[in-house]
Chains A and B, each alone.
Chain A
Amino acid sequence: DTAVSQTPKYLVTQMGNDKSIKCEQNLGHDTMYWYKQDSKKFLKIMFSYNNKELIINETVPNRFSPKSPDKAHLNLHINSLELGDSAVYFCASSPGSGYTFGSGTRLTVV
């Protein structure tokens, strides 16, 4: 069983569209995260949720909206996609220290 699963793995879409990336973890971890990895491989945290509560919201455009219906799920919705949103997005979960990552979603905005 995949511990942290993200869907889709690849996403190609046009500028201006709205898209969602889903993340689910079956590890029972309390905390989930979204990271963005740019073309230079730099990993930057976007959001963190603990038991469905938003605890970290880094400087991210408000076109990005995370949603956590329960502590096993953290979805990322992106409105009005821009070329600069092209990146790999990683979901991760943690029991408090250390991460288990999803396999990533490669988003390409054309």
Chain B
Amino acid sequence: AQKITQTQPGMFVQEKEAVTLDCTYDTSDPSYGLFWYKQPSSGEMIFLIYQGSYDQQNATEGRYSLNFQKARKSANLVISASQLGDSAMYFCAPPRQLTFGSGTQLTVLP
């Protein structure tokens, strides 16, 4: 069965520092992708960024970027210049998104 793994239940980062959140996808499908979502304490799910396995370059959206390592089947989310508003749960998920990772609770410290 395909499995999505986020190994960090909680992470802390100092404001203005960069932080990396891990996500790996155990799949035999050579063509796949990974999505990242943010869930702040208000509860809504917000799409952040996506990368497919055949994309040539790592995806970037503002302060969010993906460190995509095809051999490891990982797409780690990098948040640069963390802000207090980045404190939230972060989930990764494959296409069709039948399964989400267990999430990482990120806390940005002032």
Contact = CB atoms under 8 A, between A and B. Distances in A.
Asked if A and B bind, the verdict is yes
Interface of A: 33, 41-43, 45, 48, 56, 88, 90, 92, 94, 97-101, 103-104, 106
Contacts of B43: 88, 103-104, 106
B33 A97 contact: yes
B44 A97 contact: no
B89 A41 contact: yes
Question: By CB atoms of chain B within 10 A, which of A43, A97, A100, A106 has the most?
Answer: A43
Contacts, number: 46
A101 B50 contact: no
Interface residues of B, number: 22
Interface of B: 33, 35, 37, 39, 43-47, 50, 89, 91, 93, 95-100, 102-103, 105
A43 B95 contact: no
Q: Tell me if B's interface is mostly helix, strand, loop or mixed.
A: strand
B65 to A, nearest CB: 18
A60 to B, nearest CB: 13
A45 B96 CA distance: 11
